[in-house]
Structure 1
Amino acid sequence: MNVTSSKLGKLELAAAPFASGGAGEVYRATDSSGAIYCVKILTKQKPGEIEKIKHMAENPPTNLKGGWGTLCWPFDLVKKYGTTKPVGYVMPMALADSVELSNLTNIRWPGKSLPPLAAKLDRTSPNGLTARMLIACNISAAVDRIHQLGCVFVDLKPQNILVSPRGHISLVDLDSLQIVSGREIFRGPLGSPEYMPSESYKMDFNQGPKIEPSWDLFSLAVIHYEILLGIHPFTASPRPSIIGCETIEDAIRFKMYVHGNNRSNLEVIPAPHSSINVIPSELAALFKRAFDAASPSLRPTAKEWGEAIHNAARGGAPVLSKAVFSVPPPVVLRRRVQPSAPPTLPSPATPRQSNSTWTPSPTRPSSPSPAPQPAKKSDEMPPGCWIFIIVGLIWLFVAMKK
């Protein structure tokens, strides 16, 4: 398929997309000079989406690149060749040989054939955790740049972050940004539930006020936790008394952070969470602020994260236990697209009440075992004695005949 751009002319798309999602398909594109770009075809256009991308293309910010990486900002709408209706947009390609950040956020790198980057980022190696911290630092710098532009990412998640072999990052799918232009708000789409803060469940995304940067700061903290510890910070099994807390989204909504104020309401906490005691205490404190703060405005900013992680990496990151990362954690909470009714959480200080009471029955003394009785003598003659009697009578009868 061919598309056209008012700035680049005719673009030839690859035969198949190299990435796809609910919003569209992403193709590698080549212009007449051989330059390579990235084109996203919007398969399900939403109201106002084309207008927002047009605004972004007409008002590109400066400094889209830095020592941390690049922002893949849309710079033109594209149309099918020979038509006039926009079908998507063109943006710069991500940094060469980049991989999705989602490869780094699990206990193990997925797949059997591991790239060289996987060995560099081994959490149990002397330099692995330091390398991960530097990547997290670069992500913080990129998010900070987004916020400096007055935008909110809204759908910040590992799938929208690519990592190069040198640890630089590319932020993609920037059409999800919330952009404010005067009195007009170009809204972003609904984010991914496991990266959405608890306040998101009380919002009206279409009619409510604009989303604040604190939304992204929750998502950013979740990503940092997964990069360093390899597990979602809200993955745990609640006590049986907790009603309605069945998914990660439920746990987020009710602030069930595994190292937070509601820890006493958790029954099983997977082993990888214990590494919070090994990483620098400054980072552990930032995680608690991000997930347990009384107000979203108290969450650490992207700049705070960047500075703290950079200082921790310079001081030499610890080596995490191989025992902790040798096996994946048990799946204790399901992922679900739409959350259900709010969970019911009893106060930690109040013991669980029961509708029924149990009264122990009186103890019944056991009867003493009867004393062993001697065996009774039988009044019957043993069968073998009759033989001797008969033989004796016959002998007596013969003797009398004589």
Structure 2
Amino acid sequence: MGLTVTSGSGRTWRLTGQIGSGSEGFVYGVDDARPLVAKLVPDPPDPEAYRRRVARLVRQRREPRTVGLLSGTPVRLAWPMVVVRTAGGTEADRVDGYVMTDMRYAYEPFPHLLTASARRDRLPGATWETALRAAASLARLLGELHSEGYAVGDLKPDNLWVDATGRVGMADVDSWQFTDGREVFPGRMRTPGYTAPERIGTPTARPPDPASDDFALAVLVHQLLMAGLHPFAGHPADGGDYLSYDDNVLHGRCRIVDRTSVLLPRTAPPADLLPRRLAELFRAAFTGSLRRPAAVEWERALTAELAPGRLKACAVDSRHVHTVERPWCPWCDQAERAADSGPRRPGEAR
């Protein structure tokens, strides 16, 4: 027998099966004519606070700042539409959650654009231009969220969606930090590899803010433009043990900041794949002594790289797109190293 959830007004939905899970909850399909899913959170740290958080987000859905964020097609945010609880059982057995838009109807999971095999299967027409467009779309969305007083706090690939044109959507809205009147609903989550250095290693996580989101944005943009390579990937060049991305973050081990700080395999995309203005933004984002570029700065710079004349197609394979600043094709170089992360022609062997 499947799960059933009900809203405070008595509306009932039948859930059709689990389709995903995260650090806090589980996502289920919903038997409805509209593309909907339900997220259930079995054990929030404070159940009453969680119910209040979701109820406030549902109410904010009708406020002008959120109406603007939710405008356009396809919808960019899997915003909570209605608070629900599982039906049946005792009060202690019931699980809280909410119904939201099913992002699968318009998007692919964001990680599909980061790995060559998934990209070829699910987004076969994607090129480096698509990655640029996705980076600009993500920066634009994040900038809009910041301007309306939201901080994502746990910005990572698993919370993001992307379509074949590079449009980006976002889920897990219930983990954001936001205010409602005088009440602050703090962000709680953080993910290794996508956490700003000021939020790493503290027993009590420093609350997220736009600057910490901007660090995660820079990591994601780097991954988009560097064929999935994390900017803090690499074995410490001083001979020490590799521990984690976060350890590299805390010790400033980042190729784009200091080429001598890490050792990477020869199959890694070359650092000069990036246009100069983007490389400068990455250095500022990952160097603690510099001001971290904001999402709006990233959007401007990424959009500028999409301008006519800024991209060039390879003479050997027109689907190998790269910046005009690079005199030869980096994707052909990758293929010669047996690390082809660029698109292949239809029917070409893998």
Work out whether the TM-score is over 0.5.
yes
Quick one: distance in 1 between partners of 2:75 and 2:301?
A: 19
Structure 1 equivalent of residue 107 of structure 2:
98
In 2, the alpha carbon distance for the partners of 1:288 and 1:240 equals: 21
Change (3 A) 1:66 1:308: farther
The match for 1:353 is none
CA offsets, 1:49-96, max 9 Å, x none? Answer: 222111111222211134785111112110123577551111122152
2:329 aligned with 1:322, yes or no? no
Alignment of 1:367-382 (within 5 A): none
Residue identity opposite 2:303 in structure 1: H
Deviation at 1:201, TM superposition (A): 2.0
Aligned match of 1:269 in 224, 247, 264? 264
CA contact (8 A) 2:255 2:261 kept: no
Q: Which residue of 2 aligns with 1:188?
A: 187
Residues 2-401 of structure 1 mapped to structure 2, 5 A cutoff: 2-6=4-8, 9-14=11-16, 16-31=17-32, 34-47=33-46, 48-60=49-61, 61-63=66-68, 64-66=70-72, 70-82=76-88, 87-94=96-103, 96-106=105-115, 108-110=116-118, 114-115=121-122, 117=123, 119-121=124-126, 128-201=127-200, 203=202, 205=204, 210-230=207-227, 231-242=229-240, 245-261=242-258, 263-266=259-262, 268-271=263-266, 274-295=269-290, 298-314=291-307, 315-316=310-311, 317-318=322-323, 319-324=329-334, 327=338
Does the residue aligned with 2:105 lie in a helix, a strand or coil? coil
Contact kept? 1:95, 1:169, Cα under 8 Å? no
Quote the offset at 1:134 in angstroms: 0.7
Classify 1:152/1:51 alpha carbon distance in 2 versus 1 (closer, same or farther; 3 Å). same
**1:98-134 deviations in whole A, cap 9, x for unaligned?**
221112223x2249x813x2x322xxxxxx1111111
Q: CA RMSD in A?
A: 2.6
Shift of 1:8: 8.1
User: CA shift at 1:300, angstroms?
Assistant: 1.3
Q: For the structure 1 residues 309 and 192, does the alpha-carbon distance in structure 2 shift closer, same or farther, using more than 3 Å as the test?
A: same
Structure (1 or 2) with the larger CA radius of gyration: 1
Q: Is the 8 A contact 1:154 1:191 kept in 2?
A: yes
Q: Shift in Å at residue 182 of structure 1? A: 4.5
User: Could you tell me how far 1:236 is from its partner in structure 2?
Assistant: 1.2
Code of the aligned partner of 2:215: F
What is the letter of the counterpart of residue 7 of structure 2? S
TM-score by length of structure 2 reads 0.80
Offset at 1:304?
Answer: 1.1
Aligned AA (1:285): E
- Contact preservation (8 Å) 1:162, 1:169: yes
- Which residue type is aligned with residue 10 of structure 1? T
Cα contact 1:68–1:138 (8 A) shared by 2 = no
- 1:187-234 C-alpha deviation (Å, 9 max, x unpaired): 22221111111111254546x5x4221111111111111111121111
Q: Distance in 2 between matches of 1:234 and 1:68?
A: 33
Equivalent pair of 1:157/1:219 in contact (CA under 8 Å): yes
Change (3 A) 1:204 1:241: same
Contact map agreement 1:11 1:30 (CA 8 A) in 2: yes
Per-residue CA distance 1:226-280 (angstroms, 9 max, x = gap): 11112111111213454x652211001112111214x3333x2334655331321
SS at match of 1:290: helix
- Structure 2 unmatched runs, 5+: 312-321, 324-328, 341-350
> Cα 1:285–1:72, aligned 2, differ >3 Å: closer, same or farther?
same
Counterpart residue number, 2:343: none
Deviations 1:337-365 (A, max 9, x none): xxxxxxxxxxxxxxxxxxxxxxxxxxxxx
Q: What is the Cα deviation at residue 165 of structure 1?
A: 3.0
Give the letter aligned to residue 230 of structure 2: H
Q: Which amino acid aligns with 1:77?
A: V
Secondary structure at the residue paired with 2:85? strand
2-structure distance, mates of 1:193, 1:265: 20
**Taking structure 1 as reference, are residues 289 and 7 closer, same or farther at Cα in structure 2, changes over 3 Å only?**
farther
Q: Which amino acid aligns with 1:220?
A: L
Identity %: 24
Q: Unaligned 5+ residue runs, structure 1?
A: 122-127, 330-402
Change (3 A) 1:205 1:180: farther
Give TM-score scaled by structure 1 length: 0.70
User: 1:368 is matched with which residue?
Assistant: none
Q: Residues 135 and 167 of structure 1 are in contact (CA less than 8 Å); yes or no, is this contact kept in structure 2?
A: yes
Give, in whole Å, the separation in 2 of the partners of 1:7 and 1:37.
18
Task: Provide the C-alpha distance between the structure 2 equivalents of 1:35 and 1:12, rounded to a whole number of angstroms.
Answer: 13
